[in-house]
Amino acid sequence: MIAGTYVDSNFIVHGFVRNTEGRIKTFEVLGAADTFVNDINKSDEIAGAYVDAQFVQHGFLRTSDGTLTTFDALGAGTGSGEGTWGRSINQEGQIAGYYTDAENVTHGFVRALDGTIVEFDAPGAGTQLGQGTVPEDVNGKGEIAGYYIDENGVWHGFLRWPDGTIRKFEFPGKRGVNTAPSCINDGGQIAGYYEWEHQYDHPHTRGFLRIP
């Protein structure tokens, strides 16, 4: 099964699901100006986000039968460009993502299958505009990988365990490094990219694999 997003001739964004036989079913969240699909698990449950007419973001869960449930993190802002973004879903139905508050600071969250949402911040995350915590992926064990932006605008990787413990990490040995994990598997291996400053001010970017 493949889930994704398409843009129509009026530049409106919709979601779709393509099954193994090639049939495509489209969908959008009721009342959404745009619907963004971000992840699908083995039970064909989809996590994503939609933007309403006031440009506020909200998370959603779509089950295999097409039922859509929307949600918002408690601390999410309600202004234009603020709100909740469902980023990743694991086999247990846990959704990891982030929300932007009224001060445009980003925070992480994990949503359980029963709808309970736990919000969190990585230690060292900045608290100003454009800073904060950005979860990218959750594995089948409930471990979350992502990055946070500190008060100096530098990106650092983090791993969050199900008990809430967070460990930060970054690629060593380079000056001005930004470390950005993208995904984590059930073995705890994390893939992502890092970039560092070049002597002529052109950043270099490379991928990395972090092995537990």
Please state the φ and ψ torsions of residue 194, each to the nearest 5 degrees: -140, 155
Instruction: Specify the pLDDT at position 176.
Output: 59
pLDDT 10s per residue in the chain (212 long)? 999 999 999 999 999 999 999 999 999 999 999 999 999 999 999 999 999 999 999 999 999 999 999 999 999 999 999 999 999 999 999 999 999 999 999 999 999 999 999 999 999 999 999 999 999 999 999 999 999 999 999 999 999 999 999 999 988 776 658 999 999 999 999 999 998 876 556 678 899 999 99
Residues near 67 by Cβ (< 8 Å), separated by ≥ 6? none
With H, G, I as helix, E, B as strand and everything else as coil, classify residue 104: coil
DSSP 57-95: EEEEEE-TT--EEEE--TT---STT-EEEEEEE-TT--E
Instruction: Specify the pLDDT at position 192.
Output: 96
pTM, two decimals, is 0.93
